[in-house]
Amino acid sequence: MGLARGKRCHTPASRAVWGWMLVGEDGTTALVHRHDVHPAQPLPTASRRSADPLNAYALANELEELGKGEGPARLTRVRWEKAARESVIRACSTPEDPVRFEQWWAEVTGRRRRPPEELPPPSSPSSRPGHGHGHSGGDYGGIGGDFGSGHSGGGFSCGFGGGY
């Protein structure tokens, strides 16, 4: 990735504007949003959420920690709010050098190099087989997809939008 693109990607990543909330009845899905961007749809209520706005680097660390939990409450899915994704794409792209959301996430998380919705694989194989990498949804949300760890047999289902 070129220096100019790297700077365009890291500048918004360094701002403490991100938050997460656990959604759904089982609390295994995190919805990631931006505090400075009006969401495409109203955010759901959540009993557990990030304490303060985070930069993208701290967000990645917190999501990773949530994914290390044990038992049925372990975070298994990450959904990114649509307007938050679009704001990143606008900030990082130029007409000559468009940046997809996945490219931004890979750039700012460095060593992680995983899709933005992928968490570390579970420590033991789950009952759901892995499906390899790839998705059936696009940068702008919609239908989501299945993601697997690609090597341990563990996997999880997620989407880029899911209505948010």
**What's the confidence (pLDDT) of residue 1?**
59
Domain hosting 61: range is 3-121
Segment 137-156, tens digit of pLDDT: 333 233 232 323 332 333 33
3-state helix, strand, coil in the chain (%, to 5): 30, 15, 55
The answer to the question of residue 100 being in a domain is: yes
Number of compact structural domains in the chain: 1
- Name the more confident of 117 and 131: 117
The answer to the question of residue 105 being in a domain is: yes
The answer to the question of residue 69 being in a domain is: yes
- Whether pTM > 0.85 for this model: the answer is no
Segment 49-107, tens digit of pLDDT: 999 999 999 999 999 899 887 766 788 899 999 999 999 999 999 999 999 999 999 88
Residue 96, token pair as written in the block: 């000559």
The answer to the question of residue 112 being in a domain is: yes
